[in-house]
């Protein structure tokens, strides 16, 4: 068998045949697999599979076949030997560029054109060897993507199972519920100290005047948007699924948008559900939309993206939904991208001091938007239950947010990562006597459902109010508990249960 394979390989390299289909396939296959291996959780939909196959595999093959046939016409015969080498190198490098940079980079495209042209003119006879190298790279990429697919298939959602019947809870009162999530908004208590030392009295006074209750020392369970929201909406700890490499949670967007205990419970209680966001971040891999309404359509989202995109206005769709005439009670999940955290990468950071100033500027923008929202909601819906809950802290004090992966025991840095805002407007000022249990997001909706159902038995299964992080430097790589249920800084490596 080995000798036969060697003969096929030798015959491929030595014969004078052209292989336009194989040349086109080889040009696109590795770049696609490369992109999938690094962004699997953002492209793991059948729509993405169809898009990548049609645009980056089938289209190049068709282009190569047509160009090859045209080049064999007598009028173009002298250029025939250059066509496939040029197309192969240009397509291979151009597709890689598209995946790495996304935005149009004219200088890079010109460089790619020149490289492809030089290869076609001077090295065209080595095309088949280049194809072999591209296919070997694709084989390696297939192995990596295969591992991701296997993990996805073997993934167990047992961690989402509830210890009681809370998903069948029956609400005794049904106010409209507005869950507003300002990304990276630390608690009011932390804003006044640590690395923030911010003056925020104007917004805090506005909330007090409008009968909001703030919960100082509230903090997130996890340090990223997907992991924090996955825990909040499932009302369970996931411990990053022990995925150290990615530091995320499997099917994070599906956990938030497609199916979760919180959304399912609101629907069972006959709530109309709304998802509004300034960004399509939660929708990038096109999870099944389980909300009844959204201000973002999948047709508006590019299959390949770079960052969060342009900020989308929230007030027009919110005001429209407030006046939509739906007779059912409503649940809104409203994601605000500000103040968000400091720059993720060292390459884009301007240092801790400048990043702090930029954070505080975005904090003011977030305050302005939330003030407008609250005024509009309370004008139309004075008995609304409004929850302002951030997903994590702003990471101020660090130079860039990936420094969270480096071990520290500095209290102010750790709380800068995890401290998050919780402020609630309880309808008619009826604050439950157990609201002191509101410590971290993983338990907020369970406590809310106990309040809406007048059934405190659901408080018997609260999750530990602990905070976890993925560390890759300064300690053995792994998942670590950073803050215990009492708010103390700890350092405890978490191991998966057998």
Angle, CA of 222, 389 and 478, to the nearest 5°:
0
Mean pLDDT of 344-357: 95
Instruction: Report which of 248, 252, 256 is spatially closest to residue 275, judged by C-alpha positions.
Output: 256
Q: Report helix angle 444-453 to 261-268, nearest 10.
A: 20
CA atoms within 13 A of residue 428's CA, in its CB half-sphere: 5
Mean pLDDT of 430-452: 98
Mean pLDDT of 338-344: 95
Q: With contact defined as beta carbons under 8 Å apart, do 329 and 176 qualify?
A: yes
Q: How far is CA 218 from CA 420, 434, 437, 469, 496, in A?
A: 6, 15, 10, 17, 27
Structure tokens at 434: 């157990």
Q: Using one digit for the tens of pLDDT, what is the confidence trace for 269-312?
A: 999 999 999 999 999 999 999 999 999 999 999 998 776 778 89
335 φ, ψ (degrees, to nearest 5): -100, 125
Model's pTM, two decimal places? 0.92
Question: What are the chain's domains?
Answer: 2-153 (no CATH), 162-494 (3.40.720.10)
Length of the chain counted residue by residue: 498
Handedness of CA 59, 61, 64, 65 (dihedral sign): negative
Handedness of CA 278, 337, 426, 458 (dihedral sign): positive
Q: What pLDDT is recorded for position 101?
A: 81
Structure tokens at 222: 């996890």
Helix/strand/coil (H/E/C) assignment for every residue in the chain: CHHHHHHHHHHHHHCCCCCHHHHHHHHHHHHHHHHHHHHHHHCCCHHHHHHHHHHHHHHHHHHHHHHHHHHCCHHHHHHHHHHHHHHHHHHHHHHHHHHHHCCCCHHHHHHHHHHHHHHHHHCHHHHHHHHHHHHHHHHHHHHHHHHHHHHHHHCCCHHHCCCCCHHHCCCCCCCCEEEEEECCCCCHHHHCCCCCCCCCHHHHHHHHHCCCEECCCCECCCCCHHHHHHHHHHCCCCHHHHCCCCCCCCCHHHHHHCCCHHHHHHHHCCCEEEEEECCCHHHCCCCCCCCCEECCCHHHCCCCCCCCCCCCCCHHHHHHHHCCCCCCCEEEEEEECCCCCCCCCCCCCCCHHHHHHHHHHHHHHHHHHHHHHHHHHHHHCCCCEEEEECCCCCCECECCHHHHHECCCCHHHHHHHHECCEEEECHHHCCCCCHHHCCCHHHHHHHHHHHHHCCHHHHHHCCCCCEEEEECECCCCEEEEEECCCCCEEEEEECCCC
Q: Using one digit for the tens of pLDDT, what is the confidence trace for 100-138?
A: 887 767 889 999 999 999 999 999 999 999 999 999 999
Neighbours of 409 (CB within 10 A): 11
Measure the CA–CA gap between 313 and 474, rounded to whole angstroms.
42
Mean pLDDT of 434-455: 98
Measure the CA–CA gap between 102 and 94, rounded to whole angstroms.
11
**pLDDT confidence tier of residue 325, bands split at 50, 70 and 90:** confident
Measure the CA–CA gap between 177 and 175, rounded to whole angstroms.
6
Measure the CA–CA gap between 88 and 85, rounded to whole angstroms.
5
DSSP-assigned beta bridge partners for residue 332 = 178, 274
Q: What pLDDT is recorded for position 79?
A: 84
Radius of gyration, alpha carbons of the chain: 27
Measure the CA–CA gap between 460 and 110, rounded to whole angstroms.
64
Q: Using one digit for the tens of pLDDT, what is the confidence trace for 258-280?
A: 999 999 999 999 999 999 999 99
Measure the CA–CA gap between 127 and 4, rounded to whole angstroms.
23
pLDDT at residue 2 greater than cutoff 60: no
170 φ, ψ (degrees, to nearest 5): -110, 120
Residues 6+ apart with CB under 8 A from 146: none
Q: How does the average pLDDT of the chain come out, rounded?
A: 94
Q: Using one digit for the tens of pLDDT, what is the confidence trace for 5-44?
A: 566 667 777 787 889 999 999 999 999 999 999 999 889 9
Mean pLDDT of 362-370: 98
């Amino acid at each position: 068998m080995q000798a036969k394979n060697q003969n096929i390989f030798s015959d491929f390299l030595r014969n004078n045949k052209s292989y336009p289909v194989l040349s086109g396939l080889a040009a696109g296959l590795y770049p696609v697999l490369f992109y999938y291996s690094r962004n699997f959780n953002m492209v793991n939909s059948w729509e993405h599979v169809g898009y990548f196959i049609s645009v980056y595999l089938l289209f190049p093959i068709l282009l190569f076949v047509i160009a090859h046939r045209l080049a064999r016409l007598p009028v173009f015969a002298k250029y025939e030997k250059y066509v496939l080498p040029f197309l192969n190198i240009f397509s291979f490098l151009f597709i890689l560029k598209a995946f790495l940079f996304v935005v149009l980079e004219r200088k890079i495209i010109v460089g790619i054109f020149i490289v492809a042209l030089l290869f076609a003119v001077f090295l065209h006879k080595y095309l088949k060897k280049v194809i072999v190298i591209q296919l070997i790279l694709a084989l390696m990429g297939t192995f990596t993507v295969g591992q991701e697919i296997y993990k996805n298939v073997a993934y167990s959602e047992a961690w989402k199972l509830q210890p009681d019947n809370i998903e069948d809870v029956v609400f005794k009162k049904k106010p409209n519920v507005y869950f507003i999530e300002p990304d990276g908004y630390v608690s009011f208590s932390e804003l006044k100290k640590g690395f923030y030392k911010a003056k925020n009295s104007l917004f805090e006074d506005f909330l007090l005047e409008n009968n909001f209750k703030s919960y100082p020392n509230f903090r997130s369970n996890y340090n990223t948007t997907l992991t924090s929201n996955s825990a909040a909406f499932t009302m369970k700890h996931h411990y990053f699924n022990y995925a150290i490499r990615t530091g995320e949670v499997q099917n994070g967007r599906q956990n938030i948008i497609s199916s979760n205990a919180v959304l399912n419970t609101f629907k069972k209680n006959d709530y109309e559900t709304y998802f509004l966001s300034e960004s399509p971040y939660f929708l990038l891999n096109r999870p099944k939309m389980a909300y009844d309404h959204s201000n973002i359509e999948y047709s508006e989202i590019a299959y390949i993206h770079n960052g969060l995109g342009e900020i989308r206005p929230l007030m027009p769709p919110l005001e429209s939904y407030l006046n939509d005439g739906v007779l059912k009670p409503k649940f809104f999940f409203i994601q605000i991208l500000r103040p968000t955290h400091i720059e993720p990468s060292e390459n884009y950071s301007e240092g801790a001091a400048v990043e702090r100033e930029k954070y505080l500027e975005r904090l003011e923008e977030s305050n302005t938007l939330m003030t407008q929202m609250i005024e509009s909601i309370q004008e139309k819906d004075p008995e609304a239950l409004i929850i302002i809950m951030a997903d994590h802290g702003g990471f101020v004090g660090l130079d860039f947010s990936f420094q969270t992966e480096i071990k520290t025991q500095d209290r102010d840095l750790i709380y800068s990562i995890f401290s998050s805002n919780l402020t609630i407007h309880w309808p008619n000022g009826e604050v439950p006597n157990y609201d002191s249990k509101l410590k971290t997001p993983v338990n907020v909706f369970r406590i809310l459902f106990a309040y809406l159902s007048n059934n405190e038995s659901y408080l018997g299964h609260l999750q530990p109010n602990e905070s976890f992080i993925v560390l890759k430097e300064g300690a053995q790589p792994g998942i670590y508990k950073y803050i215990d249920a009492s708010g103390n800084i700890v350092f405890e490596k978490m191991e998966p249960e057998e």
